[in-house]
Structure 1
Amino acid sequence: MWNIQDIITNIGILDIIDIVIVAYAFYKLYTLIKETRAEQLVKGIVVLLVATKASEVLQLHVVNWILKNTMTVGLIALLIVFQPELRRALEYIGRTKFIIRSSSEFENESIDKSIEEIVEALYSLSRQKIGALIVIERETGLGDIIQTGTIVEGKITRQLLINIFIPNTPLHDGAVIVKGSKIKAAGCFLPLTENKNLNKELGTRHRAGIGISERSDCISLMVSEETGYISMAKSGKIYRNISKEYIKDVLSKLLKQEVEGKGIFKKGGLFK
C-alpha cells in the first residue's frame, strides 16, 4: 500500500504525458482491430498470458513450460496472422499529417463541381438500375489498384461516368478510380472484404467497395443493379440507401478538409 502511495506522490507531468500517450496508443489499436478477426485473437492471447502467470503462481511446472514455449513461438506466428492489421496500422501512421500541406490534387479545380458530377452520375445510374462502383482516392495511394484497370485520365463529368458503366461496354465491369479532379482508371479490380458479419444480400460489388475501404482511407460509392440503392463505404463500414444530400455533405467535408491541410493537433491530423 505504501508503494502505491509513494508512486502517486512522486508522479510528475512527464509521467502523466507518458501514460496518456500509451493509453491513446492502446485506444487506437483497439479501434483498428474492433469487429475484425484480430479482436478474437487478442482475447485468446490475453487468456494465454493469464494462464501462463497462473501456472507459475500455482507451480504447475510442466504447464508453465508448455505455455511459455508456445508464447515464444507464437510471436512469429502473430506477425503472419496479424499481417492485414499491421498493414492497416502502418498505413494509418503514414496518413498522419505531422506538417501542414500547401498543395492538393483538388486545388486547381472546383471540389463542389467534381462532387456534383459524381453524385448526379450516381443518381442517373440509380434511376436506371445500372450497377456502378466509384472509388475516390484520398491520402493512401491506389496506384496498384489503378494498374489493374484501363487508364482514362479524363476530367470528371457525369456523362463520362455514366457511359463507363453502361452494360456490355468494355469498362463497365469493375471499379472507377477517381483521384483529385480526374478519372484515373476504369475496369479496376478491388480486394474483397473478409468481414463475415455482412448482410448476405450484399453482392461482389459492395464487398469490393468495403474491401478497398478497409485497406485505405478512400471512399467507395456503389449503385445496386437490383434495387438502384446507393451505398457508401468508408473505413470498412457501409452506409446503405443514402440520400443525395448525405453524399454531398460527406464528400464535401472530407475532400475540402484535405485541401485545407490540417495540422497534427487539428481535426484530420494525428488526433482525428
Structure 2
Amino acid sequence: MLLGKLFEDMTTLHIIASIVDLLIVWFVVYKLITVIKGTKAVQLIKGIFFILIGRALSDFFDLTTTTQLFDMVLQWGFLAIIVIFQPELRRALEQLGRGGFFRKATHTAQQEFEKHRSDMIKAVQYMAKRRIGALIVFERETGLKDYIETGILINAEISSELLINIFIPNTPLHDGAMIIQGDKIATAASYLPLSESNRIAKDLGTRHRAAVGISEVTDAFTIVISEETGNVSVTTDSMLTKDITLEELDELLQRNWISTTSHKEGGGIFARK
C-alpha cells in the first residue's frame, strides 16, 4: 500500500513538473518573441521556418540530394545566425543580466504613455507660445464615436510634430476638434456640441464653448489653446479651468488621460473600436 501510494505521488509530481516545464519553455519563447519583434530577426525566423518545411518535404518524397542540401544549410546556418545577429543576441543577454528581459513587457506600456504625454506637453507649449488655436479631446469611459464620425479619420500615432502640424492655421484640418483615443489620434476637424451655459465668459470663443459642451454630455477631458491669448484651458465634468500652467496640465493628463483601454469593448490595449 505504501509503495503504491509512493508511486502515485511520484506520478503526480511528474505531471506537475511537466506542466511547470512547459510553462517555462512557453514563457521563454514568448519573451524571445518580444525581444525580436520589430527587428530584422523576424524575417530570419520566417526563412528558417520555410527551410524546415522544405527539409520535411524533401525527406517525405525521398529527395536525397535536396535533403542533404537542406541539412547542410541548417548545420551551418545556425553558426551564421550567431555571427549575423550578434548585436541582437548581445542586447538580449544584457537585458537578461539587468533583469530587463523579464520586466520589459510590464514597463513598455507605461514608457509609451510617458512619451505620448511628453509629446502632448511639447506640442501644447509650442502652440501656446505662438498663439495657435487648438481643441484636443481625450476619450475616457464614454465613447465619442458619434463625434469621431463628424471629422476626418486619422488613426495615427501621437507625436508632437503631427499635433502641431494639424492645428497650423489655414490648413484643412486646423478648424474643429482633434479626438484622442488611448495612444492614437483618432480624428481631426470633428464637430462638438456648443454649450449654452451662461457661466462661460463672453470673451471666450467657439473652441471654449465646444470644450465645455462636450464635457457636459460626456466624461471627456479637453484641452483648449486660445489663439487670441495663447492661454491653455481645460474642461472636464462641465467645468472650465482657465490659464493653467504646463506643470498643472501634466498632472491633469496623468489623472484624466486613459493610457490603456483594454477593458473597453472592442478595443486593443489602447484603442476603442
Distance in 2 between residues matched to 1:227 and 1:111, nearest whole Å: 29
Residue 209 (structure 2) pairs with residue 211 (structure 1): no
| TM-score between the two structures when normalised by the length of structure 2 | 0.54
Post-superposition offset of 1:255: 3.3
> Secondary structure of 2:122's match?
helix
Match of 1:54 in 2: none
Provide, for residues 9-49 of structure 1, a one-character-per-residue CA deviation record: whole Å limited to 9, x for no partner. xxxxxxxxxxxxxxxxxxxxxxxxxxxxxxxxxxxxxxxxx
Distance in 1 between residues matched to 2:178 and 2:111, nearest whole Å: 19
Post-superposition offset of 1:110: 1.9
Distance verdict in 2 for CA 1:207–1:159, change over 3 Å: same
Query: Which structure 1 segments of 5+ residues have no match?
Result: 1-105, 262-272
Query: Which structure 2 segments of 5+ residues have no match?
Result: 1-107, 264-273
Residue 180 (structure 2) pairs with residue 175 (structure 1): no
Match of 2:96 in 1: none
Distance in 1 between residues matched to 2:230 and 2:211, nearest whole Å: 16
| 1:1-272 mapped onto 2 (5 Å cutoff) | 107=109, 110-255=112-257
State the one-letter code of the partner of 1:122.
V
User: Which protein has the larger Cα radius of gyration, Structure 1 or Structure 2?
Assistant: 2
Distance in 2 between residues matched to 1:150 and 1:257, nearest whole Å: 23
Do 2:138 and 2:257's aligned partners in 1 also have CA atoms closer than 8 Å? no
Distance verdict in 2 for CA 1:134–1:238, change over 3 Å: same
State the one-letter code of the partner of 1:250.
L
Q: Identity of counterpart residues, as a percentage?
A: 42
> Secondary structure of 1:110's match?
helix
State the one-letter code of the partner of 2:146.
D
Distance in 2 between residues matched to 1:251 and 1:219, nearest whole Å: 9
| TM-score between the two structures when normalised by the length of structure 1 | 0.54
> Greater relative contact order (Cα 8 A, min sep 6): structure 1 or 2?
1
Distance verdict in 2 for CA 1:256–1:208, change over 3 Å: closer
State the one-letter code of the partner of 2:232.
I
Distance in 1 between residues matched to 2:259 and 2:148, nearest whole Å: 24
Do 1:135 and 1:177's aligned partners in 2 also have CA atoms closer than 8 Å? yes
Distance verdict in 2 for CA 1:183–1:202, change over 3 Å: same
Do 2:130 and 2:230's aligned partners in 1 also have CA atoms closer than 8 Å? yes
> Secondary structure of 2:180's match?
strand
Distance in 1 between residues matched to 2:211 and 2:146, nearest whole Å: 16
Post-superposition offset of 1:253: 2.2
State the one-letter code of the partner of 1:251.
L
Distance verdict in 2 for CA 1:260–1:174, change over 3 Å: closer
